[in-house]
Amino acid sequence: MRRFSQRSALVTLSEINITPLLDLAFVLLIIFVITTPLLEQGMNLKLPTGGKPDRPIDRKDVRTVEVSSQGVLMLDRRRASLDQIEATLARDFQANPNLVVYLRGDENCRWKDVEAVMDRCQRRGITRISARTEPPKR
38-66 pLDDT tens trace = 665 555 555 566 666 666 778 888 999 99
What fold characterizes domain 59-131? Nucleotidyltransferase; domain 5 (3.30.420)
pLDDT, position 40? 58
Per residue in 106-132, pLDDT tens? Answer: 888 888 989 999 999 999 999 888 888
Dihedral pair phi/psi, residue 75, rounded to 5°: -115, 115
Is the pLDDT at 91 greater than 80? The verdict is yes
